[in-house]
Amino acid sequence: MNAARLTEMEITIKNNLEEIYSLEHEILRQVEEAGYEENSSFAIRLALDEALVNAYKHGNAENPNKSLRIRYEIDEKKIDIEIEDEGAGFDQSQLMDPRSDERLKETSGRGIFLIRQFMSKTLFNEYGNLIRFVYEKKDHQNTNPHGLTQWKTGQVDVLELDPILVDKDPTIVLESILYLLKEDSRGVVLDLKFLDRIDSCLLGLLVAATREAESRGKHLVNVRLQPEVDRIIEATSLNVVLKTFADLTRGIEFIGASKSSDSN
């Protein structure tokens, strides 16, 4: 076994909420012991809870005679979780984006959408009764002076917004972006996955940051928007100013493939 690996486990439990939440609590305890910070633990807890409840409720149809199989690996760099139910499965390719106008009032499908937003990888088997999701810790991840998590991949900087810190002082968003724009990067990816709402103050700061990035020949893109945030940006017509992408990878690839005027 790799020395960096802390836990590797496969377990089968009964399809009841008591056993589900007991296992979830144990996995999250091990995640904490592995040294993952609060935002990472939140993302893993959300994905784990959504996947387990989906398997219990939709996969096994709350049938106490059925079982759930869970396999997980936790090390200092990555968390890999696999959950399989005894249901008939579903065609995950047919899932619609819950942010679309026709789905805003519906609740089904939001769980898988959130898992995809928060995890590095999300996979299903061919039957749709097994989900595997992976959370990868970033090699160059650190916390800036304002307490916001940031990391770098190639010539692209990624900045994660913490809703608690942003609520206390929204100006830290602009200050953090401007600092990163001074660096030798093509631009900044702003990860909004933790924000479930956005106000006019923060919107104004994002617009200002976007225009400043453009004036420097760099790019600022926003990724992994929650449905309400996405709706507000569209309702205020700021979707023509703020560039957004559904997932992190596409945002990084967009900036990486773009030409910066600084490099001309």
Q: pTM of this prediction?
A: 0.61
Asked if 116 and 88 sit in the same domain, the reply is yes
Looking at the structure, tell me whether residues 170 and 194 fall in a common domain. yes
Whole domain around residue 253: which residue ranges? 142-258
Instruction: Read off the tokens for 42.
Output: 């939140």
Q: What is residue 4's three-state secondary structure?
A: coil
Quote the tokens at residue 5: 């690996």
Say if 263 falls within a structural domain: no
pLDDT above 70 (res 263): no
pLDDT digits (tens, 9 = 90+) for 15-62: 999 999 999 999 999 999 998 877 788 889 989 999 999 999 999 999
Same domain, 131 and 14: yes
- Kindly state the tokens that stand for 232: 């507000």
Q: What is the C-alpha to C-alpha distance for residues 55 and 60, in angstroms, rounded to an integer?
A: 6
Choosing from 104, 136, 168, the residue where a domain stops is: 136
Q: pLDDT value at position 115?
A: 87
Is residue 91 one of the residues assigned to a domain? Answer: yes
Residues 250, 158, single domain; the answer is yes
Each residue of 112-135: pLDDT tens digit?
878 887 888 999 999 999 999 999
Residues 179, 82 within the same domain: no
187 contacts 156 by C-beta, under 8 angstroms: yes
Task: Give how many domains the chain has, as a whole number.
Answer: 2
Indicate which CATH number applies to the domain containing 221. Answer: 3.30.750.24
Mean pLDDT of the chain, nearest integer:
87
Q: Encode pLDDT of 60-85 as tens digits.
A: 999 999 999 999 999 988 999 999 99
Question: Cβ contacts of residue 189 below 8 Å, gap of 6+?
Answer: 156, 157, 158, 159, 221, 222, 223, 248, 251, 252, 255
Q: Hey, how many other C-beta atoms are within 10 angstroms of the C-beta on 131?
A: 24
pLDDT score, position 259:
60
- Flag whether pLDDT at 171 surpasses 70: yes
Q: Decide: 219 and 187 in contact? Cβ < 8 Å.
A: yes
The CATH number linked to 88 is 3.30.565.10
How confident is the model at residue 39, as a pLDDT? 72
Length of the chain measured in residues: 264
Q: What is the pLDDT of residue 94?
A: 66
